[in-house]
Chain A
Amino acid sequence: MKTFKIGGVHPPEKKLSENQPIEALPLPEAVSIPLAQHLGVPAVPAVKKGDKVKTGQLIAKGEAFISANIHSSATGTVTKIDDVVDASGYRKKSIIIKVEDDQWEDGIDTSDNIITECHLTPEEVVDKVNQMGVVGMGGAAFPSHVKLQVPKGKKAEYLLINGVECEPYLTADHRLMLEKSRELMIGITIQMKALGVDKAIIGVENNKPDALKKLRELAKEFKGITVEPLKVKYPQGAEKQLIKALVNREVPSGKLPIEVGCVVHNVGTSFAVYEAVQKNKPLIERVVTVTGSNVKKSSNLLVRIGTPVLNLIEAAGGLLPNTGKVVSGGPMMGKAIDDLNVPIAKGTSGILIFPDDEAQRVPRQNCIRCAKCVNTCPMALEPYLLALLSDKQRYEEAEEIKIMDCMECGSCHFVCPSGRPLLDQIRVAKANVGQMIRERQ
């Protein structure tokens, strides 16, 4: 079975919610929609205080090239445009809408009918995706319309679809592949058309046999789409690792996947593309897994963007008194949040809740030079050395040994028997090296 060659770990899978169908979460009393929920330049508000907005109405425009439009996820009144704490732990500009109703904007198809045919040209598809504010749903939230345009002089050969979901606990993509498989396939066909490629491969880890079976059967109906089972290994969902696993090509350091003729999209993104192009529906809701060992009812919820995390937790049985940590995202790369009113953003794939005893870090001890971190690093770096250089503030040397290739997957920290905060130190150095590089330019 295929997988990437260098490094990687296999944390306990713990897919507690894999058999829970996607349920729609009722609308909250108010949604607060951050203006910066994608990579790149924050969107610019197109509404003002007191405006009445409909569900799906454009409320903030992405004006730069790497930016994304933002739409209202409910019908109601804009009460204020103010700073609200988001998952970063800091206050960021957000549009707060008091929810009154759920009246969709005209022209949006909210029915369940599946529309197979797409008559748009590639340019029109890219434009539609841009209009509807679609971003990468895997977590990094990179504006999708940028990735659907092949830069001049380059040629895309493969569209790789990431259905790996290598993070433990998360099942949002898994459920989406099972329940919305036909829509997903149509979305992939549309993306293939936009990129001008005739081959698409969906990579799915073999711990999701039901999804694999279903997609394989469906793939017979769609030309050019194949489904590839992959060995379970973290971080297979990372772009470069997925390319290595599926087509055995290596993206050069500091370069983008298009360099080796590949474009990678998440299954969630493909589904969002389907909805944007075929149904005219902007990205205003997503599937979020609420799970963890301190959740009464692990579930997969269809949530409107801007819903407070607290509402999701209550839908999953409420917060237990011995809760120690609430994480936004997956357990490996996610981030603990310090406020339960943090809104769900386009890139939030899961909410994990852990009891106090599980949330503790392993006590830190001295490095025993076992080199486990070196063997585990999927980018073939030397985490122990990077951490040491970070500690000594020798950032030039860290840059030389390719610290910027680190994708912060956390595998090194995960395997370290001494519980050393390797990734923490690498992050500090990465921030400083990034600063150095920007100053040089």
Chain B
Amino acid sequence: MNEVVLYSVLSIGGLGTVAAIILYIVAQRFKVIEDPRIDEVEEILPAANCGGCGLAGCRNFAERVVNAGTLEGFNCPPGGQDTMNEVAKVLGLEVEEQEPIVAVVRCSGSTQLAPPKTRFEGLNTCEFAHSLYSGQSGCPYGCLGEGDCVVSCAFNAMYMDENTRLPVIIEENCVACEACVKACPRNIIEMRKKGKKSRRIFVSCVNQEKGGIARKNCKVACIGCGKCVKECNFDAITLENNLAYIDFNKCTLCRKCPPVCPTGAIHEVNFPPRKNKQKEKDKSEA
């Protein structure tokens, strides 16, 4: 009886020892030396794994940034400037000052201004609706109002306005991760520079149809008349496919283009109210 116990203990114990030695040698031989800074950088990152940097999550970003040895081309949109500064501190690098950007919805075809002609039933996603028809108002470029962008937002920076059936962006929460840009099947949402004091001027329309057709479906569509292009002194506005586009790198926020737009498709946000509104009105009437 005792012999059985003894042999069992010896054989199992011996086997364990041999295995342990092999494991130790293999572990020494194939040791992966990882830069400890990767973990440090990962700690700093917001761990949202939103993909806003264009990489597959925060860990991936940390690995890339440590291996690259430079911060050029790397940006963590949800973390913002503070996070990038901290990352730079860990790595002993200089960080370039990034201008903050924000998501902008380029459609104003609300249920009032672009009245629905049909009713949509079926799977309530923009992706599906887009594959079926041009939209309730008939505009084949405008917002479908099913809210794929709102679903994609991980930062509570969007909601659907029940009255207008258009998405609204809460600027303070938007981290410019571009999830909504990718979710929108019609490329309505654009990332634009936040601008000084969050002031921005942009064309709130993406319709490329001829003016008459676009106007028939929506009162606030860009009709491609080109008035704003003539008005701009900085070559910031281009007209392509019946649609004006304002380059935010060239725009000086002079506020000359919004009043000349006949449909009001050019939006200015966060500006103080115009002082001599009445005067301008008189001028245009005369």
Contact = CB atoms under 8 A, between A and B. Distances in A.
A90 B140 contact: yes
Contact of B131 (A83, A338, A339, A427): A427
Interface stretch (B26-34, B47-55, B115-123, B223-231): B115-123
A30 interface: no
A354 B156 CA distance: 41
Interface string A414-440: 000000010011011001000000000
Contact of B123 (A83, A85, A424): A424
A85 B216 CA distance: 14
A88 B132 CA distance: 7
Given A91-B140, A421-B123, A335 B134 contact: no
Given A91-B209, A428-B123, A85 B128 contact: no
A360 interface: yes
B118 A338 contact: yes
A361 interface: yes
Interface residues of A, number: 17
B128 A427 contact: yes
B133 interface: yes
B125 interface: yes
B138 interface: yes
B212 to A, nearest CB: 11
Contact of B138 (A338, A360, A425): A338
Contact of B133 (A88, A361, A431): A88
B133 A338 contact: yes
Contact of B134 (A85, A361, A428): A85
Given A424-B128, A428-B127, A428-B128, A90 B122 contact: no
A436 B131 CA distance: 17
Nearest to A361: B121
Nearest to A432: B127
B118 A424 contact: no
A431 B117 contact: no
A165 to B, nearest CB: 25
A90 B133 contact: yes
Report whether over half of chain B's contact residues are helix, strand or loop; otherwise say mixed. Answer: loop
A89 interface: yes
Contacts of B209: 83, 91
B121 A89 contact: no
A274 to B, nearest CB: 36
Instruction: Pick from B123, B131, B140 the residue with the most CB of A within 10 Å.
Output: B123
A90 B134 contact: yes
Interface in A280-317: none
B132 A89 contact: yes
Interface in A342-366: 360-361
A424 B122 contact: yes
A425 B132 contact: no
B56 to A, nearest CB: 15
Contacts of B125: 428
Contacts of A83: 209
Given A88-B133, A431-B131, A425 B123 contact: yes
Nearest to A424: B123
A421 B117 contact: no
Given A338-B117, A424-B128, A428-B128, A89 B123 contact: no
A425 B132 CA distance: 12
A362 to B, nearest CB: 10
A89 B135 CA distance: 8
Instruction: Pick from A335, A424, A427 the residue with the most CB of B within 10 Å.
Output: A424
Interface string A79-104: 00001010011110000000000000
Interface in B44-90: none
Contacts of A90: 133-134, 140
Interface in A38-94: 83, 85, 88-91
B121 A428 contact: no
Nearest to B127: A428
Instruction: Pick from A83, A338, A425, A428 the residue with the most CB of B within 10 Å.
Output: A338
A89 B134 contact: yes
Contacts of B138: 85, 338-339
- Sorted nearest first, the 9 A-B pairs with minimum C-beta distance are A89-B133, A424-B123, A338-B118, A421-B123, A361-B121, A89-B134, A424-B122, A428-B128, A90-B134
Given A83-B209, A428-B125, 12 more contacts: A85-B138, A89-B132, A89-B134, A89-B140, A90-B133, A90-B140, A338-B117, A338-B134, A424-B123, A425-B123, A428-B127, A431-B131
Interface of B: 117-118, 121-123, 125, 127-128, 131-134, 138, 140, 209, 213
29 contacts: A83-B209, A85-B134, A85-B138, A88-B133, A89-B132, A89-B133, A89-B134, A89-B140, A90-B133, A90-B140, A91-B134, A91-B209, A91-B213, A335-B132, A338-B117, A338-B118, A338-B134, A339-B138, A360-B121, A361-B121, A361-B122, A421-B123, A424-B122, A424-B128, A425-B128, A427-B128, A428-B123, A428-B127, A428-B128
